[in-house]
């Protein structure tokens, strides 16, 4: 429990309600009360009351036949407000769009969220893409270019703490899961000024990314370019796309020097 959660100002009931809303993921779009209790760790009585309240407020929908809950469209309000008011996103979007037009590939802005990176802005390629990547999607820091670029700019102690806290699982046969190897990869990214990953989270995907930093040199997020192995090799992506992603990250950094990390 964090020090903020120890505060007398902390509202436990609100925390429990939010944990129910955030329990719904791509792999579990609908859940029963029992499943919600298992996922959130809350008792069934608390889950029942919270789910009823969220349904009454319009954030959850309950199937009248199966009694299973799923998110209702109104739940988008909880995240859309951030996308519409973030200064980082607003200032970065013109440069992301320019990069997208230049390379004609998918260009993204990701921000840290716990041990993950979160998609907050995206300009997709007009060419065929096989991976749907909606805003709000989480990706682990340790096995993605955007995450490694972010880790490379953090103080080393903070980066190591995140790596040690991460569940180092293999998403593909290429996923690097050894702590020492990951520390070496992050050190390489620190030296090169950008990071890369080849089919470590998604099969067929290559990505390069560079961190966006503020005036203190602290990372706010990462700019990344994702390309398919059907059109690119890792060597070509590093040679031709990495310099462009570094320049874009630096340009965005110049426009966001006064900003402070959100998380």
Residue with tokens 């702590």, as numbered in its chain:
179
In this structure, of 76-80, 89-93, 198-202, the range with the lowest mean pLDDT score is 76-80
Sign of CA dihedral 62, 66, 68, 71: negative
Q: Which domains does the chain have, with CATH numbers?
A: 12-75 (1.10.10.10), 86-255 (3.30.450.40)
Each residue's pLDDT tens digit, 83-136: 888 889 999 999 999 999 999 999 999 999 999 999 999 998 887 655 677 788
The mean predicted confidence, pLDDT, of the chain is 89
Each residue's pLDDT tens digit, 206-220: 999 999 998 888 899
Q: What is the pLDDT of residue 262?
A: 61
Our measurement of the distance from residue 70's CA atom to the centroid of its chain's CA atoms, rounded to an integer in Å, reads 22
Each residue's pLDDT tens digit, 156-198: 999 999 999 999 999 999 999 999 999 999 999 999 999 999 9
CA distances from 169 to 30, 78, 154, 177, 204 (A): 25, 30, 22, 6, 18
pTM value is: 0.83
Question: Higher-confidence residue: 3 or 242?
Answer: 242
CA distances from 245 to 77, 100, 127, 209, 229 (A): 31, 10, 19, 6, 18
Token reading at 49:
């009351």
**What's the CA gap between 100 and 246, in Å, rounded?**
14
Query: Is the CB of residue 252 less than 8 Å from the CB of residue 91?
Result: yes
Instruction: Name which of 253, 154, 242 is nearest 198 in CA terms.
Output: 242
Q: What is the pLDDT of residue 6?
A: 76
Residue with tokens 């407000």, as numbered in its chain:
81
């Amino acid at each position: 429990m964090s020090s903020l959660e120890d505060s007398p100002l902390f509202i436990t009931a609100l925390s429990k309600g939010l944990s129910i809303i955030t329990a719904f993921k791509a792999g579990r779009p609908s859940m029963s009360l029992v499943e919600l209790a298992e996922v959130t760790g809350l008792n069934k009585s608390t889950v029942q009351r919270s789910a009823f309240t969220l349904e009454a407020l319009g954030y959850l929908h309950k199937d009248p036949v199966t009694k299973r809950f799923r998110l209702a469209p109104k739940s988008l309000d909880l995240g859309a407000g951030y996308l519409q008011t973030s200064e980082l996103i607003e200032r970065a979007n013109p440069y992301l769009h320019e990069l997208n037009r230049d390379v004609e590939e998918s260009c993204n802005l990701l921000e840290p969220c716990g041990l993950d990176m979160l998609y907050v802005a995206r300009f997709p390629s007009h060419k065929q893409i096989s991976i749907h990547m909606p805003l709000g999607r989480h990706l682990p820091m340790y096995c993605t270019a955007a995450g490694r670029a972010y880790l490379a700019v953090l103080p080393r102690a903070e980066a190591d703490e995140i790596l040690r806290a991460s569940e180092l699982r293999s998403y593909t046969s290429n996923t690097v899961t050894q702590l020492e190897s990951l520390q070496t990869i992050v050190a390489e990214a620190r030296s090169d000024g950008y990071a890369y990953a080849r089919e470590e989270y998604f099969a067929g995907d290559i990505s390069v990314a560079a961190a966006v930093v503020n005036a203190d040199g602290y990372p706010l997020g990462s700019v990344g370019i994702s390309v398919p192995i059907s059109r690119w090799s890792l060597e070509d992506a590093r040679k031709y796309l990495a310099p462009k992603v570094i320049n874009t990250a630096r340009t965005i950094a110049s426009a966001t020097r006064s900003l402070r990390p959100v998380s």
